[in-house]
Amino acid sequence: MLNLVRRAAGEEAVVRLVERAGIGRTQAELEDDANWVSFDEGRRLFEAATEILDDPRALRKVGVAIARRDMTSEVVELLRQLGGPGEVLRHIDQVVPKFCTVVQMEAIEIADDYARVSGTSVPGFPRFAHLCDFTIGLLEQAPIPFDLPPAAVVEDECEQRGDRRCLFTVRWETEPSNLPEYRVAALEAELEVLSTRFETFHDTAADLVGVADVASLLANITSRARLAVRAPKHVLAVRPTPDAELAIHHEGCTASELAALVDELMADDPSDRDGSRLIVEVASVRQAESYGRLAAIYDEGVRFFPAERSVLAGYARLAAAALDTATALEESRRQTETAQALLDLARGLAGIGRSQEMAERLAASVPAVTACDAAVVMLWNEEDRALEVAATEGLPAGIEALVQPIRISTADTPMLAELIAHPRSLLVDTESADPFIAGLLAAVGMQRAWIAPIVAGETVLGVLAASFLAAVTTPGAAPDEHLLARLDGLADIAATAFQNAKLVEHMRHQAMFDPVTQLPNKRMLEDRVEEALARNRRVGEGFALFFLDLDRFKNVNDTLGHAAGDELLRQVADRLLVTMREEDTVARLGGDEFALLLPRVDNVALARAIAERLYAALQRPFALGGQQVFITSSIGIALAPEDGADHDTLLKNADMAMYQSKEQGRNRFGFYTPALHADLSARLKLESDLHVALQRDELFLEFQPLVSLADGRRIVGVEALVRWQHPELGRLMPDAFIGLAEDTGLIVDVDGWVIETAARQARAWARHGFNPHMAVNLADRDLRDPSLVSRVASILAATHLSPECLELEVTERVVDEAPDHLLATLRDLKALGVKIAIDDFGTGHSGLSRLRTFPVDTLKIDRSFVHEVVNAGDPAPLLAAMIRLAHDLGMSVVAEGVETEVQAAFLVEHGCDVGQGYLFARPQLAGDVLRLPRQAEGDGRAAEARAGDRERA
């Protein structure tokens, strides 16, 4: 819950949460997973969180977060075994006791798309509303393992409202529509496997032109196929020409079984043996007949994945291409240049995942491979049923500009329809082609062109065109068979490459886009923001990041249902898209949160204008199932790079600004400012409040005893710790206002008051015969105040406190920086007779040796070192060394934050003088300190020791 509050409202809100809950536990204690809270404490935290976040749904989010945290992929796998959300809920009585001991849950009714579950309190732990919200948050997650969107949960009956039990109806959708985070991770893993396979494939393609003869090439293809499709046996059986002998290549087969296997394989309709054999044709694109077959073979009973068929088919196509180009290869090897081009292409394509780049590379290699004058790669656009120019090579600039926008639809020429229906290579020239094609050729100044379709399975992905300036020299001469074969080879490599690219693009799309709105998701946004930041570093161009959150979106979800909620999100997405410029990125971060990345919007005025335009666009009602719905939104704006040099910071800051807008009443936008960190308005108010707090006597002190470790935990000192009884916010701890006081300079007055009050208190105690030394904290700023020394002197004079009873704690930073005048100030203080302690030692950078030059009496070791000691026997070498060295330097050592007996024992063993911490006593009011057992009154031994103390002082 602390994390949730932190994410939603920042660190400061966490501090407020802990205080508002008022359960006497520090934040550190609560953050520690090892600690339990009682039912009542939990309840107060629940209530405080809801108030602080001003979000009635806050507790649901905690439930969601907890469920999500526990949904590791193994858990998901386990839950999936159950079959569906209903089955998960059916077992709820077994699940709940594992993480909650105060409620019993039970499935009452389970149907296909809904379930009813009841909850009854264990006696003594009465239900309260926030607990129900929390439960709803958990129940919402039941469908997640099944790739379904969260369930809609309604509480029909509630114990707290007087019903016998709480009764929840959980409804879920049965069609997957969402892609949860962990699925994205899984997808990425799959993607990785795929790319490795593609690389192997392309290495093989590269062999196509590198290997000496077709036979060894085929052998190579067979063994590579085995790397890509894992199976114990692979067989390739082909007949290079119809009447040639059968060439057989295999991996993993014994000689005895091979003949039978090949016979089965080459039968008219070979059996796949119940899915344990994957058999693909080695068929030429050009020729009708098949060369033979390639098979991957498992033991019977083991099956292949459907995806593996297309991988193996890719290898079969390579084998076919090898046979197709067998003759052309002879030729191309003679023209090493050509061979090299094919090789480069195959290698190059392996690393590329995007269609456009692929097309460009392909176009570039066509002239080298086919000796044509210009090449064009066109890709098929299924939606428009047209071929579009994707890349060109070798065209004069003027013509290229002309060619780029060309689209050929099936309506333009019957030839295209024919090509799509029966893909095959063809020759077109200005004489023979239909008027449309002839016109195109003439327009680009070409006489004839070879066109090779890029075909995957049955589908035409595009075409490769190699065009020539000259007409065929001798009319009627046979077309150049070699060139044609090589162009086909290229088209074939291209087909697999494009198919792979499509797969990769599809998966990337799934991982990068939000399934509900089709907007980029937060991953993609992150990429774009990083790009924009890189651009900023290069050319100094700024940009804006908007964080947009719909106000009260949950009302729509709750009243109209999730489907309507999704529809609203889509409509909002559309509005945002039409309002924004083309170059802007509109992303959905999740839930009802959107982010907008606006390049070149680099100043407040411009950003403001756009925000206003957005508000105007969102103000119009949305139509949802015949109803008009009005929705407002809150926007936070961060400008880059001023408000953050990396994606996380920018988004966090925009989010913070958004939260601020929400707090100020929603339906508004606001800019991030650095001061927002401490919650701008609250901070401003707190600052003005602090001014009057001193006059109104709202500050008070608590005192935390410091005990002698060697001597029966006798109280030898106290540390004065300031608190502020704020009229509205209640009791504030120093962390909430000391920083503010330092920033504004008020600290000087605050600490002046603290020293004086503490000194008076010490005198008052002395009258009761209680003489602990009084430690007071000084801020760095205090030391820079020129009147500090004289003020301390006059306080001592006024209160008649003996100076050696006052110890001033300064931070290690003072030693770190140590400008001369600070050192002088410390010496002047020493000269008054007061003691100096270094607080929180170990958190800064100063070495102990540097301390030698400082007039320091006491070293207070920061509690983080003490907390290193967890179990008896823990070594904690730093802590031990600090104690030793401090003693060598003649200082007395205080260990802070002692919380356990184990720590105390360690400290005693290592000779630490004094301890401070919850183990001995918490900070408390002066009167309570006096009531602590002190073993002082009437205890001669302790009194003696005290006298000894004084002497040493």
Q: How far is the CB of 4 from Ca ion (least distance, A)?
A: 29
* 628: number of Cβ within 10 Å: 9
- Segment lying near ligand C2E (by CB under 6 A), choices 273-281, 429-437, 504-512, 728-736: 728-736
* Interface with ligand C2E (CB under 6 A), residue from 734, 739, 844, 855: 734
Count of residues binding Ca ion (CB under 5 A)? Answer: 5
Distance CA 878, CA 864 (A): 11
Closest CA to 882 of 865, 897, 899, 868: 865
Distance CA 481, CA 812 (A): 85
Q: How far is the CB of 552 from Ca ion (least distance, A)?
A: 45
738 interacts with ligand C2E by CB under 6 A: yes
842 interacts with ligand C2E by CB under 6 A: no
- Taking CB under 5 A as the criterion, which residues in 894-913 touch Ca ion? 896
Q: How far is the CB of 879 from ligand C2E (least distance, A)?
A: 15
400 binds, among ligand C2E, Ca ion, none (CB under 5 to 8 A by kind): none
- Positive/negative CA dihedral, 20, 22, 28, 30: negative
432 Cβ contact partners less than 8 Å away, ≥ 6 residues apart: none
734 binds, among Ca ion, ligand C2E, none (CB under 5 to 8 A by kind): ligand C2E
8 Å CB contact between 745 and 781: yes
636 interacts with ligand C2E by CB under 6 A: no
841 Cβ contact partners less than 8 Å away, ≥ 6 residues apart: 812, 859, 860, 861, 862, 882
44 Cβ contact partners less than 8 Å away, ≥ 6 residues apart: 21, 22, 23
- Taking CB under 6 A as the criterion, which residues in 858-887 touch ligand C2E? 863
* Interface with ligand C2E (CB under 6 A), residue from 314, 542, 670, 917: 917
169 interacts with ligand C2E by CB under 6 A: no
Q: What phi and psi values does residue 802 have, to the nearest 5 degrees?
A: -75, 135
779 interacts with ligand C2E by CB under 6 A: yes
How many Cα neighbours within 13 Å face the side chain of 850? Answer: 15
Nearer to Ca ion, 148 or 851 (CB): 851
511 interacts with ligand C2E by CB under 6 A: no
* Interface with ligand C2E (CB under 6 A), residue from 172, 897, 910, 945: 897
* Interface with ligand C2E (CB under 6 A), residue from 526, 711, 839, 913: 839
Closest CA to 413 of 445, 451, 393, 387: 387
Nearer to ligand C2E, 28 or 443 (CB): 28
Nearer to ligand C2E, 200 or 892 (CB): 892
Closest CA to 639 of 609, 606, 668, 661: 606
840 interacts with Ca ion by CB under 5 A: yes
929 interacts with ligand C2E by CB under 6 A: no
Nearer to Ca ion, 76 or 792 (CB): 792
* Interface with Ca ion (CB under 5 A), residue from 592, 689, 785, 809: 809
SS3 category, 38: coil
Nearer to Ca ion, 130 or 860 (CB): 860
- Segment lying near ligand C2E (by CB under 6 A), choices 118-126, 501-509, 674-682, 746-754: 746-754
* Interface with Ca ion (CB under 5 A), residue from 636, 839, 842, 895: 839
- Segment lying near Ca ion (by CB under 5 A), choices 185-193, 402-410, 674-682, 889-897: 889-897
- Taking CB under 5 A as the criterion, which residues in 761-780 touch Ca ion? 777
Give DSSP secondary structure letters for 574-589.
Answer: HHHHHHS-TTSEEEEE
The contact pattern for ligand C2E, residues 369-388, with x = CB under 6 A and - = no contact, is --------------------
Q: How far is the CB of 708 from Ca ion (least distance, A)?
A: 18
701 Cβ contact partners less than 8 Å away, ≥ 6 residues apart: 720, 721, 722, 723, 754, 757, 758, 761, 926
Closest CA to 867 of 38, 29, 37, 30: 29
Q: What phi and psi values does residue 635 have, to the nearest 5 degrees?
A: -125, 140
Enumerate the H helices of 54-180 as residue ranges.
58-70, 73-81, 85-90, 92-95, 129-140
- Taking CB under 6 A as the criterion, which residues in 334-363 touch ligand C2E? none
Tokens at residue 322, please? 């090898």
Closest CA to 135 of 112, 159, 105: 105
8 Å CB contact between 117 and 88: no
717 interacts with ligand C2E by CB under 6 A: no
**Sites of contact with Ca ion (CB under 5 A):** 777, 809, 839-840, 896
**Sites of contact with ligand C2E (CB under 6 A):** 26, 28, 704, 721-722, 733-735, 738, 747, 751, 754, 777, 779, 839-840, 863, 896-899, 916-918, 923
